[in-house]
Structure 1
Amino acid sequence: MRRTSAVLEGMAHGAQPIPNVCRVGSLVTTGNVGGQHPGGELPDTLAAQCRLMFENLAAMLARVGAGLEDVVHVNVGLADRSGREALNDAWLAVFPDGRSCPTRITRVQDLGRGLLVQCDAIACCER
């Protein structure tokens, strides 16, 4: 099987040779996905960063032919435990059906650079 990797414009890891998303067969994984605009600027609110994080995740998946409907697991890092409600609101906007949504682990961690939330994901895409 051939590996396909992609870097989303504006989401590169600086000069590091690290892709944002990688696919081998039906397996798709992402690197860290933040809630920044493509130019790198960060919104001030957690709600806005959560919304952008999921938009960026969708864009990364699309680069390798997958979509949010293919996601099976999401790891989320929050800068502050009090942000869980904003995260859950954004989550439900993207995955409204609790009977068909990915698993999720949420951890509180130091994200640095003004990030209030970030995630990485695993997806399985048969197409």
Structure 2
Amino acid sequence: MTGVRRTAVEVPGLEHPQPIPVAVWAGDVLFTSPIGPRRADGSIPDALDDQLDVTFANLRRVVHGAGATLDAVGMVHVHLRRREDRPALNEHWLACFVDEPRPARMVSQADLPAGVDVLLTLTAVRACPE
């Protein structure tokens, strides 16, 4: 019996502080570790809008760094510190995922690390040849 092969995805500037990759391909499915508002220099913006800008830019970097496109994203799980931040999240969501249908999404309120107002994880698939 053959198992599914995992292949780590690393994106310069987005290395995870824990001993895990930023993302991993398991066969044709991409799973990410938490993607957040940390800039390449390690800083985290104070304002929510800036955190969302950086987080969605990091999402794009991870997806593209894995050799995929935003069209490959099937599910995004968003962790917000405050539920009332959902309208701001929606603005960035629509700017990132312009075309319909957009990925499925789940938003959870979470106790996040100090200074972090948003984290997300996603699942994507490798494009199949037509």
Q: Is the TM value for this pair above 0.5?
A: yes
Q: Partner of 2:112 in structure 1?
A: 111
CA distance in structure 2 between the partners assigned to 1:9 and 1:66 by the alignment: 16
Which one-letter code corresponds to 2:55 in the other structure? Answer: M
Where structure 2 has 5 or more consecutive residues not aligned to the other structure, the ranges are none
Tell me which structure has the larger Cα radius of gyration.
Answer: 2
Within 5 Å, give how 1:60-75 maps onto structure 2.
Answer: 60-75=62-77
CA distance in structure 1 between the partners assigned to 2:102 and 2:117 by the alignment: 23
Q: C-alpha deviations, 1:102-122, integer Å up to 9, x for none?
A: 000001111113111010000
Q: C-alpha deviations, 1:46-96, integer Å up to 9, x for none?
A: 111112111111111222211212100000000111111110000000112
Give % identity. Answer: 35
Q: Partner of 1:13 in structure 2?
A: 16
Q: CA deviation at 1:23?
A: 0.9
CA distance in structure 2 between the partners assigned to 1:119 and 1:66 by the alignment: 17
Which one-letter code corresponds to 1:120 in the other structure? Answer: T
Q: Is the 8 A contact 1:77 1:119 kept in 2?
A: yes
Q: How many residue pairs are counted as aligned between the two chains?
A: 125
Q: Partner of 1:29 in structure 2?
A: 31
CA distance in structure 1 between the partners assigned to 2:98 and 2:10 by the alignment: 28
- Per mean C-alpha deviation after superposition, the further-off stretch among 1-10 and 113-122 is 1-10
**Which of 2, 7, 14 does residue 4 from structure 1 map onto?**
7
TM-score (norm 2): 0.88
CA distance in structure 2 between the partners assigned to 1:19 and 1:25 by the alignment: 16
CA distance in structure 1 between the partners assigned to 2:113 and 2:6 by the alignment: 31
Where structure 1 has 5 or more consecutive residues not aligned to the other structure, the ranges are none
- SS of the aligned residue for 1:119 comes to strand
Q: Is the 8 A contact 1:4 1:64 kept in 2?
A: no
